[in-house]
């Protein structure tokens, strides 16, 4: 499961970092991080897919959101016993703490 999370998070963070740095043209002297390369990459993908290049980033964001939901659903399913135990302990501690103070413990201050 650890490797699934690593193999999911590494490309997502690499793509997010590249997109952010190239979108704002923070190149640090690397051509791959320039805005010119950013526009060229999306122009090529737009040509290949036959759609306008400006529609690609929202599609990628939706795909990443769906993949993330799927990965966390698998993670949650695999760890469902531990999650249910945590939830039951949380509910039990919450119901035990909410008790009204007794008349003996109240202050006699005027």
* Domain coordinates in residue numbering, the chain: 1-78
Residue 20 has pLDDT above 70, yes or no: yes
Tokens of 78: 């695999």
* Paired tokens of 3: 């490797």
Indicate whether 46 pLDDT > 90.
yes
Cβ density class 7-41: b for 16+ within 10 Å, e for less: ebeeeeeeeeeebebbeeeebeeeeebbeebbeeb
Beta-carbon count within 10 A of 5 CB: 13
Above 70 in pLDDT, residue 51? yes
Residue 95 or residue 47, greater confidence:
47
């Amino acid at each position: 499961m650890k490797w699934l999370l690593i193999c999911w998070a590494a490309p997502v963070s690499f793509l997010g970092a590249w997109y952010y740095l190239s979108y704002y043209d923070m190149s640090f002297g690397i051509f791959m991080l320039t805005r010119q390369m950013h526009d060229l990459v999306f122009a090529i993908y737009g040509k290949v897919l036959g759609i306008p290049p400006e529609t690609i980033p929202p599609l990628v964001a939706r795909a990443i959101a769906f993949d993330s939901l799927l990965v966390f659903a698998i993670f949650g399913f695999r760890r469902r016993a531990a999650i249910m135990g945590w939830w039951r302990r949380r509910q039990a501690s919450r119901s035990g703490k909410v008790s009204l103070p007794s008349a003996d413990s109240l202050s006699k201050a005027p």
